[in-house]
Amino acid sequence: MTHKIILDTDPGIDDAMAIFFAFQSPDIEVLGLTTVYGNVPVTMSARNALTLCELAEQDIPVTQGVGMPWVGPESGYAHFVHGDDGFGNIDFPASQRDLDPRSSAQFIVDMARQHPGEITLVAIGPLGNLALALRLEPNLPQLVKGVAIMGGAAFVKGNVTPVAEANIWNDAHAAEIVFAADWDLKMFGLDVTNSVPFTPDFMDDLELRNQKLGGFVKKSSEFYTDFYSQGRDDRVCFFHDAMPLAYLVNPELFEMTRGHARVSTDPLNRGQTSVAPIGTTMSPLWLEASQIDVATKVDHERLRQLYLDTYAL
């Protein structure tokens, strides 16, 4: 079965790896890339998305979305993780293609109306575009097949604060809106993404399987690996953003836990994703919260092989 998706993204090195995986997979049809601020400013995010489409020879719409959090000032950016250009400072020539003139939120709404019940929204950056789309079309949860996000930390510590993961922390109020909506939401957070380190031999294999796309990932990930290898005896990086896409292709790789979820927006706990597994609480404050599915375990070796096999197609 082919999964129609809209990929909401903030490229970003691991975003690039995920986007190429989606393009290569015969089980995924990418209807468009919607971009958001996050790893880089939204103007750079949109330009980077166009560049990745051009490199992969994909002629699909790319839209520019929200550039600010739902509440509060402009975000800082993760240039220390992804480089000043979002691609590890490799000076890759930027695409001169044109953006689709619609906002990311409007594109999501338009496509959901055009393909009711068929589209999975895969969000691998902050959730401002999805929150805005919900405001533009309150019936959006009934128009999409489901939502899969890379973000959050349910039962492990955060990577920005002790309790918060970066994508959720970057726009906690938007995340609160998205988590509370009445749709099938699956969360792939640090519980699984930080459990799967990738060593340089994986990037070598990606390049061997696909010289153009895998070679780009290998080159751009040098900077990324430098960041993740600080204080370690080995060189590793983490391709967080491809996990929800891998689930669409092969859900058997993952163990999921269903629970009631809430996103904190207070200053101290901003961006915390708290999950009460079904049957663990009788508190009305939790029982009235939306239920989501959280990925808690993944088969590392089979996931690695899935990535390599898909890049080779």
Residue positions annotated with a catalytic role? 240
Retrieve residue 178's tokens: 């998205």
The Cα 28–Cα 9 span in angstroms is 16
Q: Distances from the Cα of 188 to the Cαs of 78, 134, 196, in angstroms?
A: 20, 21, 12
The Cα 59–Cα 63 span in angstroms is 13
Q: Distances from the Cα of 255 to the Cαs of 137, 188, 192, in angstroms?
A: 32, 11, 10
How does strand 119-123 pair with strand 62-64? unpaired
The Cα 42–Cα 40 span in angstroms is 6
The Cα 55–Cα 19 span in angstroms is 11
Cβ-contact 109, 65 below 8 angstroms: no
